[in-house]
Amino acid sequence: MNMMRTGLLMAGMTGLFAAVGFVIAGTGGMVVAFLIAAAMNAFAYWNADKMVLRMYGAREVDAATAPEFVGLVRDLARNAELPMPRVFIIENEQPNAFATGRNPENAAVAATTGLLKRLSREEVIGVMAHELAHVKNRDTLTMTITATLAGAISMLAQFGLFFGGNRNNPLGLIGTILVVILAPIAAMLVQFAISRAREYEADRVGAAIAGRPLWLASALQKIQVAAERIDNVEAERNPATAHMFIINPLHGGGVDSLFSTHPATANRIARLQAMAETMGPPPAHARGPWG
């Protein structure tokens, strides 16, 4: 259901781009704006993982420097039938985690020291399974495409603002002004909706990878409470990265509304609890050393 919803939302954004492009800039302007936005996001797609890991001062670890954590991730990757990702630890008291990388072969997962200190082993398993679910679902690619379209729509709006728009459009001057104002907002709302849908899907797939939905549910509750009272200074300085984390690291970011990048934690927990009720014991291949 979430996959279908994401597909429909992306199709809707594509349609919005085409319609807005013609109204604001005509066919030529629409193509130019899309190419510029695509080039910008292609650079981000190939380099965003390095940029965000550097931004948060992430330290790569291996079996020698963090044997338990790396071993845990290795077992989960095997359960998920994924290549072993690079593993990083971030010196930050706020418990949180994210995944990055352009595809499963070039993926990285990162957890904060706060997460590793404040959560149980089972809860850490739930969190890292969620992050590997993002890798498995290729959510980085989905969000890159979405960002490309949203960026192109914003550029078209700026073209309309500075160059007067497409005077041959059927909506006239008033219509152009309304589109210039409303189109970027609409694109942002669709982008947020896709981000929320991907979080729900990663919860579902991650719970299946770990074999215990309630481990992730318990982790989400703890992370949400801690995130409300512990600052993540780097995230506050770079709010555009907030959607990457398993829980919004910004204060006041937990509302399940049109303007939130994450679903409400209570809603996510409720879904995981319902999933746990329908699941029997995890299959043998999903138990690992923690089963």
pLDDT tier for residue 171 given thresholds of 50, 70 and 90? low
- What angle in degrees, to the nearest 10, is found between the helix axes of 2-55 and 139-163? 90
Q: For position 256, what pLDDT does the model report?
A: 52
pLDDT at site 290: 44
Asked about 201 being catalytic, the answer comes back as no
- Residues with Cβ within 8 Å of 134's Cβ and at least 6 positions away in sequence, in order, are 99, 140, 198, 202
Give the model's confidence band at 51: pLDDT under 50 very low, under 70 low, under 90 confident, else very high: confident
The answer on pLDDT for 245 being more than 80 is yes
Task: Assign residue 14 a region (left: φ > 0; alpha: ψ between -120 and 50; beta: otherwise).
Answer: alpha
Query: Average per-residue pLDDT in the chain?
Result: 83
Per-residue pLDDT band for 188 (boundaries 50, 70, 90) equals: confident
Instruction: Name, of 23-37, 110-124, 161-175, 225-239, the range with top average pLDDT.
Output: 110-124
Least confident interval from 19-28, 81-90, 118-127, 254-263:
254-263
Chain centre to alpha carbon of residue 198: 7
Residue 167 has pLDDT above 70, yes or no: no
**Cα gap 206→257, rounded to integer Å:** 23
Mean predicted confidence (pLDDT) in 246-267:
76
pLDDT at 241: 81
Report helix, strand or coil for 214.
Answer: helix
The residue with greater pLDDT, 147 or 58, is: 58
Domain ranges, ordered by start, for the chain? 2-290
This prediction has a pTM of: 0.80
* Residue-level pLDDT at 252: 53
Which is catalytic among the residues 123, 131, 199, 201?
131
123 close to 218: Cβ distance less than 8 angstroms: yes
Tens digit of pLDDT for each residue in 156-165? 777 766 665 5
The pLDDT-based confidence of 120 (bands split at 50, 70, 90) is: very high
How high is the pLDDT of residue 35?
80
Q: Calculate mean pLDDT across residues 67-82.
A: 97
**Whether 212 contacts 122, CB under 8 Å:** yes
What percentage of the chain carries pLDDT values higher than 90? 47
Residue 88 in this model has a pLDDT that exceeds 60: yes
